[in-house]
């Protein structure tokens, strides 16, 4: 399999030493000539996906060729060692975007040749099966990271957090082991003292330990692709990490995370998060689990607590089946753009049309300006939606009315139901048919044609349809308008404006 350098030279041309052949000893005319032809120079956007690359290549040549690269796409190659990835990136000091999707980069991460990559802002690691311990180490190496893609990595849990799992387990163990020995009590006291110390000293001590411990000691594993067979007890505790204040966008599409409590860990790790994509994740609700204090008392935790800056949230194809979760989304203080498509809730909603469903969502989400990728919601559309929402619940009992209904009553007042006016013409009318001295009243479907009407009348009056003439008489304009012959066989009856009470006269054609 080729190295990155070999794939680069195969795609973009000559080797570094060949440049000297293009230098003339004597220049008689001074003109501008690029150092390298465009085909033989490395671009700032370097795309080498699906080239079977498994390692970096000669460092010096790689450094010469890739020093200006800003965007690197290595998706769908054979990279499986983070050391090779770090070697590649160490020779690209300006790189801002890296796509490593579909490389088997689970980890662990050894100590890299560079301590930090200060320019890398966008990292795509979709379908790499990357372990959470490797995510935690990458976050320390990428202080400028703004956008992170971790889709299709088969996560069932988020095994990264800002809470120290050791301290949590010690506090839980201390609350249950009341009858423990003196030595155990001393250990618990020591742990409590550590917890009460300064956060700065804790972080310093943790980093000193990490520097002494090889990166390869990471032992966490990715979640299985069959979440039904896994339980919370089988998952290791989440890793402790410092909050990363730079990440603004996170993509977790197509993972198996089903609990909002797991998503809250993401909010703690990325406090400045503005866009969170959870499409195709089987989330069942937007509600945190109620945490328990050392005394065993449950405390209420708001679902939006850790997402104060979140502006965009994609929950398409979630398993949410409750309007209460929509109301919880309305509590996110900065949220203005949501995608809520293909929920089980829509299959059983009372609304029968896409327009009615959109109105219900707009009315329940007062701060949302973009819904499901549509146009910006204007003031007129929002007012119409809120009025429609009030009328939707007018006939419902109080127990079924949401809190938002009463909020909107305070804005728009108590509204009357809309009058249902049907402007469609009558489909069936009662008409008087007269033939010579015989008169019969029958109900007629006005969507039928004159020809069809004749074929039905021939059974009533014993007159062949081919020998029949029909004359329409409007009851209101009998004296002014007279008779109107219905002589076009394919003309539809409603085009004559036939109403109940009108008359149709039948005559037999005279043989000539």
Q: Which residues of the chain have pLDDT under 50?
A: 14, 16-25, 27, 36, 165-166, 168-169, 171-217, 221-232
In the chain, the number of structural domains is 2
- Do 405 and 261 sit in the same domain of this protein? yes
Strand segments, DSSP code E, in 244-402 are 249-251, 275-277, 312-314, 337-339, 370-371
Looking at the fold, whether 268 and 358 belong to one and the same domain comes out as yes
User: CA-to-CA distance for 508 and 512, rounded, in angstroms?
Assistant: 12
- Report the alpha-carbon distance of residue 3 to residue 455 in Å, rounded: 85
**Whether 282 and 384 share a structural domain:** yes
Structure tokens at 211: 């520097």
pLDDT at 121: 97
Q: Does a structural domain hold residue 315?
A: yes
One domain, residues 371 and 327: yes
Rg of the chain, C-alpha, whole Å: 37
| 137-161: pLDDT as tens digits | 999 999 999 999 999 999 999 999 9
Residue pointed to by tokens 């398993």: 319
Return the pLDDT at 157.
Answer: 95
Domain membership flag for residue 131:
no
Q: How high is the pLDDT of residue 414?
A: 87
Dmax of the chain from CA atoms?
A: 128
Question: Same structural domain for residues 395 and 439?
Answer: no
Task: Identify whether 75 is part of a domain.
Answer: no
Per-residue three-class SS string for 22-85: HCCCCCCCCCCCCCCCHHHCCCCEEECCCCCCCECCCHHHHHHHHCCCCEEECCCCCCCCHHHH
Is position 257 within any domain? Answer: yes
Do residues 406 and 279 both lie within one domain?
A: yes
* Same domain membership, residue 360 and residue 262: yes
* Rounded-to-integer distance, Cα 305 and Cα 131, Å: 26
352 part of a folded domain: yes
Q: pLDDT at position 45, please? A: 92
60 within a domain of the structure (yes/no): no
Domain-located, residue 276 = yes
Structural domain span for residue 358: 240-288+305-412
- State the pLDDT at residue 11: 81
- Same structural domain, 434 and 494: yes
Together in a domain, 329 and 369: yes
Residues 387 and 328 in one domain: yes
Report the pLDDT value the prediction gives residue 494, as an integer from 0 to 100.
87
Task: Identify the CATH number of the domain in which residue 314 sits.
Answer: 3.80.10.10
- Given 412, 436, 462, the domain boundary residue is 412
Write the pLDDT tens digit of every residue in 435-483.
988 899 999 999 899 999 999 898 888 889 998 999 999 888 877 778 8
Q: Judge whether 460 lies within some domain.
A: yes
Beta partners for 147?
Answer: 122, 249
For residue 472, give the H/E element and its range.
Answer: strand 468-473
Residues 263 and 393 in one domain: yes
């Amino acid at each position: 399999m080729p190295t990155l350098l070999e794939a680069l030279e195969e795609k973009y041309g000559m080797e570094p030493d060949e440049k000297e052949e293009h230098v003339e000893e004597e220049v008689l005319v001074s003109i501008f000539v690029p150092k390298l032809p465009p085909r033989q120079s490395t671009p700032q956007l370097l795309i080498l996906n699906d080239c079977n690359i498994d390692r970096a290549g000669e460092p010096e040549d790689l450094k010469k060729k890739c020093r200006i690269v800003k965007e690197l796409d290595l998706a769908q190659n054979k990279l499986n060692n983070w050391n090779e990835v770090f070697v590649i990136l160490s020779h690209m000091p300006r790189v801002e975007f890296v796509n490593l999707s579909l490389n088997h980069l689970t980890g662990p991460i050894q100590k890299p040749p560079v301590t930090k990559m200060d320019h890398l802002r966008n990292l795509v690691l979709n379908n790499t099966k990357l372990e959470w311990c490797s995510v935690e180490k990458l976050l320390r190496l990428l202080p400028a990271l703004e956008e992170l893609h971790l889709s299709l990595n088969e996560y069932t849990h988020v095994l990264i957090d800002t809470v120290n799992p050791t301290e949590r387990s010690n506090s839980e163990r201390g609350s249950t082991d009341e009858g423990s020995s003196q030595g155990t009590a001393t250990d618990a006291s020591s742990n409590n003292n550590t917890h009460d110390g300064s956060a700065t000293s804790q972080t310093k001590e943790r980093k000193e330990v990490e520097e002494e411990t090889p990166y390869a000691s990471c032992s966490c594993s990715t979640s299985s692709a069959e979440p039904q067979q896994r339980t919370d007890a089988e998952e290791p505790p989440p890793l402790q990490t410092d909050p990363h204040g730079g990440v603004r966008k996170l993509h977790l599409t197509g993972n198996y995370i089903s609990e909002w409590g797991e998503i809250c860990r993401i909010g703690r790790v990325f406090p400045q998060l503005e866009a969170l994509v959870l499409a195709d994740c089987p989330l069942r609700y937007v509600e945190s689990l109620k945490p328990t204090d050392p005394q065993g008392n449950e405390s209420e935790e708001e679902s939006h607590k850790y997402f104060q800056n979140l502006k965009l949230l994609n929950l398409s194809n979630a398993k949410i089946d409750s309007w209460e979760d929509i109301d919880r989304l309305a509590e996110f203080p900065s949220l203005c753009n949501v995608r809520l498509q293909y929920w089980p809730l829509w299959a059983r909603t009372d609304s029968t049309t896409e327009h009615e469903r959109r109105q219900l969502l707009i009315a329940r989400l007062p701060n949302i300006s973009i819904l499901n990728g549509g146009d910006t919601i204007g003031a007129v559309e929002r007012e119409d939606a809120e009025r429609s929402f009030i009328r939707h619940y007018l006939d419902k009992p109080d127990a079924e009315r949401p809190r938002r209904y009463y909020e909107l009553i305070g804005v728009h007042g108590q509204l009357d139901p809309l009058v249902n006016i049907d402007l469609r013409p009558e489909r069936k009318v009662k008409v008087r048919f007269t033939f010579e001295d015989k008169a019969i009243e029958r109900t007629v479907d006005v969507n039928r044609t004159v020809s069809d009407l004749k074929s039905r009348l021939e059974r009533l009056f014993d007159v062949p349809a081919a020998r029949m003439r029909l004359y329409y008489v409007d009851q209101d304009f009998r004296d002014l308008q007279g008779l109107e012959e219905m002589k076009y066989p394919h003309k539809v009856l409603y085009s004559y404006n036939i109403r109940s009470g009108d008359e149709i006269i039948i005559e037999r054609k005279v043989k000539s």
